[in-house]
Structure 1
Amino acid sequence: MVHGTVSPFWRSSNDQAFSEAVIRKTMRFVPIKTAEQQADAMVLKTRALLVQQRTQSVNALRAHLAELGIIAAGGVPNVAALIDIVRDVEDTRLPTSARFALTAIVDQIDALAVQIEMIERTIVIEAKRDETARRLTTIPGVGAITATTIKALVPDPGGFKSGRHFAAWVGLTPRPHSSGGKERLGRISKMGNPELRVLLVLGATSALRIARRSEKARPWLKALLARRPFKVAAVALANKMARIIWALLTKGGIYDSSDLTSDALQAG
């Protein structure tokens, strides 16, 4: 093959492979997204970028203050205490030059928080207007951001044969490791869209924390927590949520909390 050109043999073989794939019944084709779906995806990606930038700024603030022996508990809500220290000119633990530099980081954190809040408020408003998003938010652990992400990233849920196929595409299905007639399940495959998978796992984690404190929690959820580690239970619940989401997208309706273990909810 000459540099800068494509070999006729390779091009012919590639075309034959595409032609062969097109006629196969098992091939799945990615549907073209509408302008509205692309716009929703842009909003979500912008939010993800701002959240990432805020996390980087918060980590930088923590690291710099830790060098001076000033440490706060983990989590974004606890950053407020560090911000107050930076802005307190009477706090002598910070040298003047350090306070000057860290004030720039603090201002950036506040500005990013305002922008993220505005975008999330817009997402919530749009989710309330959209009929599909409203139905998805009836599922415990699925909020407006998750529903909007699903709507933007899954243009054709009917392209999946069952809820299990959809959960596998998201990356919430364990990898099988079979040997000697014994089936062993490994870690999740992590296929599909990582942002959607993270949102489902976070929603499942929130639902499990509520279930662990509530006396009215669903019995199968209590049993799951009793026999599995918390993180494993969160992934298992996220898998179930993915299958329920597929059922609502393909069959319509809303989540029926009175029927907690039916095959219809498990969606295949």
Structure 2
Amino acid sequence: MIKNTIIAIDLAKHSFQVCKFNSDGKIDYNKAMSRKALIALLGNHVSALVAMEACGGSNYWARLARRHGHQVKIIQPRAVKGLQLKQKTDKNDAYAIGIAAQLPHINSCGIMEEDEQGLQALERVRMLQLEQRTALANQIRGLLTEFGIVIAKGLNHLVTALPDILEDAENGLPMNYRQALAAQSQMLQLYTTQIESYDRLIAEHTRHNPVCQKLSKLEGVGPLIALGLTVRLGNATEFNTGRDASACIGLTPKQHSTGGKERLGHISKNCADKRLRSLLYQGAMSVVNKAVSREPKTVKEQWLKALVDRRGKKVAAIALANKTVRTAVALIKNNDDYNPILLAA
């Protein structure tokens, strides 16, 4: 048990529930506070352990509490939910956060600094634009199919075909939809231009970030993956081992063991950083495709090629992504550079 004053905060936008535990583990108060009152509390209170759930705004409040000399523990929501034995209210939520903060086996999530959060925001903005472009392209294809106009797969085919479709006066498109299609074509081009500008920004920031440059030397790691790993791993102190990091991202099999028997299943479909895992898998698959088409040059390529022969490309790609994350943790913790081991000539 943590013998320290604990300030457990159930975060919100304007009204915050604050539950204070004294050093004896008893509750001094459990009450609602305004944003202004909470800022004043953190600024005037003696050093304490400030606990909160990982959610929107948690990094801001964690940084604010640390600036005022407090310890901070950001707890995963599912760890808190397991301690909510009564009905869900703000008071019960804050109490459960305080209890979870006292349990030594519940670790704190990493706290991002402003620069790291800015990089994460840049990646999220790009991803949203990408999803919107994909949705727009799919809608255009679907609507054109209803008029008997079928376009080959791929964004380039769609962008190339749209000007000819708009200029063709005999393809059966009514004028009311032709005007809407012209607007959609312009929006599609705008999305593409904006995504390309985000790609340039990400490449520029990763080029000037020493950690991103270090991670970019790993097999299958480009600017997007290097940025994602840098933001997710931070200084890697959140993880005791590299396996903990790969498990957090969702690259290790789920375990359901009982009675001394270990049962390992598939990788999780829910408890994972799906965005980063997807990028890692795509990068690893490109490495796998190259490795199987040539003689291995490094020890890792030799291992990868043997794994493809035994288990197939997809399993090998997940295994390589797992190894990439674990190597990244080691590089960050030890401040080393990556040097692949070459096979003897």
Query: What SS does structure 2 have at the residue aligned with 1:187?
Result: strand
Corresponding residue to 1:195 among 265, 271, 275: 275
Stretch moving more, 209-218 or 105-114: 209-218
Stretch moving more, 115-124 or 61-70: 61-70
Q: Does 1:95 align with 2:178?
A: no
Instruction: Give distance in 2, aligned partners of 1:144 and 1:65.
Output: 36
**Structure 2 vs 1, CA of residues 59 and 203 (structure 1 numbering), >3 Å: closer, same or farther?**
same
- 1:8-40, CA deviations, whole angstroms, 9 ceiling, x for partnerless residues? 7x7887666555544444332234321111211
Corresponding residue to 2:287 among 182, 196, 207: 207
Corresponding residue to 1:47 among 106, 123, 126: 126
Q: CA deviation at 1:60?
A: 0.7
Corresponding residue to 2:212 among 133, 139, 148: 133
Q: State the TM-score, normalized to the length of structure 1.
A: 0.82
Corresponding residue to 2:334 among 251, 258, 261: 251
Stretch moving more, 33-42 or 65-74: 65-74
The 8 Å contact of residues 43 and 119 in structure 1, kept in 2 or not, is answered as yes
Stretch moving more, 56-65 or 222-231: 222-231
Structure showing greater Rg: 2
Instruction: Give distance in 1, aligned partners of 2:105 and 2:337.
Output: 30
Match of 2:40 in 1: none
Instruction: Give distance in 1, aligned partners of 2:97 and 2:144.
Output: 57
- 1:109-128, CA deviations, whole angstroms, 9 ceiling, x for partnerless residues? 11000000001101101111
Structure 2 letter corresponding to 1:139: L
Q: Does 1:222 align with 2:305?
A: yes
Structure 1 letter corresponding to 2:341: S
**Structure 2 vs 1, CA of residues 181 and 19 (structure 1 numbering), >3 Å: closer, same or farther?**
closer
Q: CA deviation at 1:200?
A: 0.9
Structure 2 letter corresponding to 1:40: L
Structure 1 letter corresponding to 2:199: E
The 8 Å contact of residues 136 and 142 in structure 1, kept in 2 or not, is answered as yes
Q: CA deviation at 1:168?
A: 0.4
Q: Considering fraction of residues, name the structure with more helix.
A: 1
Instruction: After TM superposition, list the pairs within 5 Å mapping 1:17-56 onto structure 2.
Output: 18-56=97-135
Q: CA deviation at 1:157?
A: 1.2
Stretch moving more, 129-138 or 168-177: 168-177
The aligned length equals: 254
Q: CA deviation at 1:139?
A: 0.6
Match of 1:236 in 2: 319
- 1:218-242, CA deviations, whole angstroms, 9 ceiling, x for partnerless residues? 2222222222233333222211211
The 8 Å contact of residues 127 and 148 in structure 1, kept in 2 or not, is answered as yes
Gaps of 5+ in 1: 261-268
Match of 1:118 in 2: 197
**Structure 2 vs 1, CA of residues 37 and 76 (structure 1 numbering), >3 Å: closer, same or farther?**
same
Structure 2 letter corresponding to 1:63: G
**Structure 2 vs 1, CA of residues 31 and 165 (structure 1 numbering), >3 Å: closer, same or farther?**
closer
Q: CA deviation at 1:76?
A: 2.9
Q: CA deviation at 1:55?
A: 0.6
Structure 1 letter corresponding to 2:185: V
Query: What SS does structure 2 have at the residue aligned with 1:159?
Result: coil
Q: Considering fraction of residues, name the structure with more strand.
A: 2
**Structure 2 vs 1, CA of residues 231 and 31 (structure 1 numbering), >3 Å: closer, same or farther?**
closer
Corresponding residue to 2:144 among 54, 60, 65: 65
The 8 Å contact of residues 86 and 103 in structure 1, kept in 2 or not, is answered as no
Q: Does 1:173 align with 2:252?
A: yes
Structure 1 letter corresponding to 2:170: T
Q: CA deviation at 1:92?
A: 2.9
Match of 1:263 in 2: none
Tell me the percent identity. 32
Instruction: Give distance in 1, aligned partners of 2:139 and 2:156.
Output: 16
The 8 Å contact of residues 233 and 329 in structure 2, kept in 1 or not, is answered as no
- 1:148-190, CA deviations, whole angstroms, 9 ceiling, x for partnerless residues? 1222233341211111111000011111345897655322124
The 8 Å contact of residues 123 and 144 in structure 1, kept in 2 or not, is answered as yes
Instruction: Give distance in 1, aligned partners of 2:205 and 2:213.
Output: 10
Stretch moving more, 174-183 or 162-171: 174-183
Gaps of 5+ in 2: 1-16, 20-29, 31-85
Match of 2:35 in 1: none
Q: State the TM-score, normalized to the length of structure 2.
A: 0.65
